[in-house]
Structure formats: C-alpha cells, structure tokens
C-alpha cells in the first residue's frame, strides 16, 4: 500500500514538473516545439511572399496581354484586329470598334495568306498598319485605306510607300513593284509584292503622299484620293500606266515626274493654288488630251503658276492648243534655253512630235537648241509675259495662231517669230 502511494505521488510530481517546464518554455520562448513553430512560420511567410510575387507577376501578364475575342471572321485583342483564319473570303469590312473599344491597329501579317479576300475596307479609326498586313491577299481587287503606308503623314521612309502594307515576301499572283521613297540624292528604293489583281484604291484621310508613293503600280486602274492631301512627292504616280484620271485639288506644287509614264492619263486639273510645275511632270503621258478644259486637245496652265520645269510635256503629242502665263520656265527669261517656247516640251523625240531648232543667245555665238514640239499644236496663248526672248517661237511652223499679252510687245528678241505665225498682241 505504501509502495502504491509512493508511485502515485511520483507520477503526480512528474506530471506537475512537465507542466512547469512547458510553461517556462512558453514564457521564455525556448523549447524545440517553439523553435519548430518559428521556423514553420518563417517558411510559411516566405511561401506566402513567394505566392504573392507569383500572383503579382501573373496579374501583370494578364494586363499586358488583352483577352482575345474571336467572332469567326476577326480576332480582336484590345484595339488590335487580325484575321480569324486564312479562309475568310469575299468583301471584308473591318469594324471601327468592338464592344465600345475603337479599333486602331492592324498588326504586321494580320491578314497574311488570306488569298480569297476580294475587297478590304479599313475604317478611319485605324491609325497604324503593320508591315505586310495584307501580304498574300492574291485575289484582292479593291482596297480602301485611311492613309498610304504605315500611318498618316509618313515621309522619307519605306513605311510611306503604298506597297508597305503588302510586304516584301513574294507569292503567287503577286507583282514585284519597286518604289523610291527617299527624296535625297541617294533615292533609296524598296521592292514590294502587290496583288496583280488589284485595280481600285481609295484613300480617305491622308494629308501627304511621299515620294514614289504609288510608283510603278501598273496594275491599278483607279486611285481615289481625299481632298485633304496638300503635298505630293516626286514620282508619286510614275508609271501607273493604267490610271486615266487623278484629282489633287489642294496641292500647291506639282513635283518632278509626278505622272511620268502614265500613258493612260487622259485629263488633269491644275488648281489655282499651284505655283510650280516640276520637270518631267507629265512626261510620256501620250493619252493626255486636256488640262483644265473639257475640250479635247486644249491645255490651260493658270496664271498662278510662276515656275515650270523642263520637259513637262515631253511625249504629249495630243496638244492642239496651249495657254501659258509666260514662255519657257518663268516670266521675263532671256538669253538661256529656258526662255524658248520648246523648253516645256523637251529635247527627246517621240511619235507625234516635230524637231524644232531655236536660237536663244543674243551674243555672237548664237547658241541654239533642238526641242520636240507636238506636230498637231496650232494655237498658243501667252497671258502674263514681259519679255519674248531671241528665237522664242523660231521655226514653230506648225503654229497657226500666237496670241500674247501686250506687256511683252516692247521687249521682243531677234528672230522670235521666224518661220512661224505672226503674233497678235492683246
């Protein structure tokens, strides 16, 4: 009995001792259990922090990559749009917005290989088009764009070329077109592959056409431009051989070679803001039959023009009547070949032209130059000249009527009307 009592008492003491030690450990922060708990908490905290970072990274990724929305024709990603598949076909109109979000971007290669599309209309909400966005659209016949190239008002880079949106990669039924885009002496060029089937282009919101914008697009039959275009670069339509008419009502300069090689161009209107016509502007326009007139064969250059480059009408054999503000390159010219009537027709011979030799120098050397003037030209009217240089109309035997403003009558050079019609002063 005594032994049992001692055992119970010992057990009770041991239990009390354990409780006491546990209490001390909790009070002083010691003990293996506490240490383990601390480590676990630290680990848990680190894990939580890591989880937080992952969560943050994931959230950031979701924000930078908008959710894609596919309607079967297009895939929308924020303000960007592209083809849902290369099998889309027919006439395609890109919407200006999607669920309240304006569509402003067509990325590079967005419609690449969509070879069954026949027409594409891009809304004015779009401000950026990537390189080769329509590469491989080999059945395309018509395209409407807000601007030419990658964005509105581009200049001096290949992104300002019409071919930019079609890219450089060749494909079946594509035509390789070389376009000059740099206005410096180097005249940089780039080759693009444009659908051979393309005929009609409409530009709705452009302000500037860069140098060579539509150069060598021989497949096009119609280019419609918005009236807001105030500047065009040299050679913008050079060798667009199927274009019959272009309207540019807001420009002030007709640059060099603007329509050079446009053998189907039939008429053109020079607006009253134009003061300069660059060299070779209409060179080789063999079908051109009127300027500023509805009458076939009549060409009228307005008095607003103060400078005319050489050979602007070289290769234009259909001119029957021409009205000019002055003779040659500018008003009051003398003693240079630029003062000759033939200056604007150039020296290169062409079918339907007559070679005419004119003396322009008043000194003893009497320098002469040969020009090729349309053989059917009969009537010339000069409206605002002050000087008629030596040999100005010399040997223009095809002319029947020459009418000149009286302001030039008192300053007429020797042989100015030799072997041509006598002038009428008005």
Mean pLDDT of 283-309: 98
Residue entry with tokens 């400078």: 307
Percent of the chain with pLDDT over 90: 80
User: Kindly report the CA angle at 88 between 82 and 92, in degrees rounded to 5?
Assistant: 70
Mean pLDDT of 374-391: 97
Q: Please, which residues bridge with residue 370 across strands?
A: 357
Please say if the pLDDT value at position 58 is more than 60: no
Q: What is the pLDDT of residue 15?
A: 55
Instruction: Of 59-73, 155-169, 189-203, 220-234, give the lowest mean pLDDT range.
Output: 59-73
pLDDT single digits (tens) 250-289: 999 999 999 999 999 999 999 999 999 999 999 999 999 9
Q: Please, which residues bridge with residue 381 across strands?
A: 323, 403
Please say if the pLDDT value at position 8 is more than 70: no
In our burial notation (b when 16+ CB lie closer than 10 A, e otherwise), range 375-392 reads eebebbbbbebebbbbbb
The larger pLDDT score, comparing residue 11 to residue 369, is at 369
pLDDT single digits (tens) 95-132: 999 999 999 999 999 999 999 999 999 999 999 999 99
Mean pLDDT of 376-393: 97
User: What Å distances lie between residue 186 and 181, 183, 189, 239, 303, CA to CA?
Assistant: 10, 8, 9, 20, 34
User: What Å distances lie between residue 402 and 142, 302, 331, 333, 424, CA to CA?
Assistant: 47, 17, 17, 18, 6
Please say if the pLDDT value at position 316 is more than 60: yes
pLDDT single digits (tens) 126-161: 999 999 999 999 999 999 999 999 999 988 899 999
Please say if the pLDDT value at position 222 is more than 80: yes
The larger pLDDT score, comparing residue 55 to residue 12, is at 12
User: What Å distances lie between residue 195 and 147, 148, 213, CA to CA?
Assistant: 18, 16, 16
Instruction: Of 40-54, 173-187, 236-250, give the lowest mean pLDDT range.
Output: 40-54
Contact 390, 412 (CB under 8 A): no
pLDDT single digits (tens) 73-91: 999 999 999 999 999 999 9
> What is the pLDDT of the chain when averaged over all its residues?
88
pLDDT single digits (tens) 361-373: 877 667 999 999 9
In our burial notation (b when 16+ CB lie closer than 10 A, e otherwise), range 170-190 reads ebeebbebebbbbbeeeeeeb
Mean pLDDT of 279-300: 98
Q: What is the pLDDT of residue 45?
A: 37
Residue 66's pLDDT band (cuts 50, 70, 90): confident
Instruction: Of 26-40, 93-107, 246-260, 326-340, give the lowest mean pLDDT range.
Output: 26-40
3-state secondary structure the chain: CHHHHHHHHHHHHHHHHHHHHHHHHHHHCCCHHHHHHHHHHHHHHHHHHHHHHHHHHHHHHHHHCCCEEECCCEEEECCEEEECCCCCEEEEECCCEECCEECCEECCCCCCCCCEEEEEECCCCCCEECCCCCCCCCCCCEEEECCCCCCCCCCCCHHHCHHHHHCCCCCCCEEEEEEECCCCCCCCEEEEEEECCCCEEEECCCCEECCCCCCCCCCCCEEEECCCCCEECCCCCCCCCCCCECCCCCCCEECCCCCCCCCCCCEECCCCCCCEECCCCCCCCCCCCEECCCCCCEEECCCCCCEECCCCCCCCCCCCEEEECCCCCCCCCCCCHHHCHHHHHCCCCCCCEEEEEEECCCCCCCCEEEEEEECCCCEEEECCCCCECCCCCCCCCCCCEEEECHHHCCCECCCCCCCCCCEEEC
In our burial notation (b when 16+ CB lie closer than 10 A, e otherwise), range 22-53 reads eeeeeeeeeeeeeeeeeeeeeeeeeeeeeeee
Tokens matching residue 254 = 């007709």
Contact 173, 194 (CB under 8 A): no
Instruction: Of 13-27, 225-239, 313-327, give the lowest mean pLDDT range.
Output: 13-27
């Amino acid at each position: 009995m005594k032994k049992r009592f001692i055992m119970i008492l010992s057990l009770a003491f041991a239990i009390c001792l354990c409780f006491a030690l546990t209490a001390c450990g909790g009070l002083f922060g010691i003990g293996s259990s506490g240490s383990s708990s601390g480590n676990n908490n630290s680990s848990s905290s680190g894990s939580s922090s890591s989880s937080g970072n992952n969560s943050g990274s994931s959230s950031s990724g979701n924000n930078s990559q908008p959710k894609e929305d596919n309607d079967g024709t297009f895939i929308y990603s924020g303000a960007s749009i592209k083809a849902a598949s290369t099998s889309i076909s027919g006439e395609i109109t890109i919407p200006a917005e999607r669920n309240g979000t304006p569509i402003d971007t067509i990325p590079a290669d967005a419609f690449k290989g969509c070879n069954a599309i026949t027409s594409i209309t891009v809304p004015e909400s779009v401000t950026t088009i990537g390189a080769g966005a329509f590469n491989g659209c080999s059945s395309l016949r018509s395209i409407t764009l807000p601007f030419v190239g990658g964005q509105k008002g581009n200049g001096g880079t290949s992104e300002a070329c019409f071919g930019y949106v079609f890219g450089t990669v060749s494909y079946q039924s594509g035509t390789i077109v070389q376009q000059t885009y740099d206005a410096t002496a180097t005249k940089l060029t780039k080759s693009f592959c444009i659908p051979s089937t393309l005929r009609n282009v409409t530009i709705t919101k452009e302000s500037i056409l860069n140098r060579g914008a539509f150069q060598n697009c021989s497949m096009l039959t119609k280019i419609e431009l918005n009236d807001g275009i105030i500047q065009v670069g040299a050679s913008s339509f050079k060798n667009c051989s199927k274009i019959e008419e272009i309207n540019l009502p807001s420009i002030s300069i007709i640059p060099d070679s603007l329509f050079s090689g446009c053998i189907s161009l039939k008429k053109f209107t020079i607006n009253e803001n134009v003061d300069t016509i660059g060299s070779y502007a209409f060179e080789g326009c063999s079908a051109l039959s009127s300027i500023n007139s509805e009458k076939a064969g009549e060409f009228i250059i307005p008095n607003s023009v103060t400078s005319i480059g050489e050979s602007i009408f070289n290769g234009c054999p259909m001119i029957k009547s021409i009205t000019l503000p002055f003779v040659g390159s500018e008003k009051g010219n003398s003693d240079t070949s630029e003062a000759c009537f033939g200056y604007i027709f150039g020296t290169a011979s062409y079918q339907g032209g007559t070679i005419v030799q004119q003396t322009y120098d008043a000194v003893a050397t009497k320098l002469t130059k040969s020009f090729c003037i349309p053989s059917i030209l009969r009537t010339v009217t000069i409206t605002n000249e002050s000087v008629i240089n030596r040999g100005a109309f010399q040997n223009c035997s095809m002319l029947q009527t020459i009418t000149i403003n009286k302001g030039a009558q008192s300053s007429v050079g020797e042989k100015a009307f030799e072997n041509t019609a006598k002038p009428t002063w008005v």
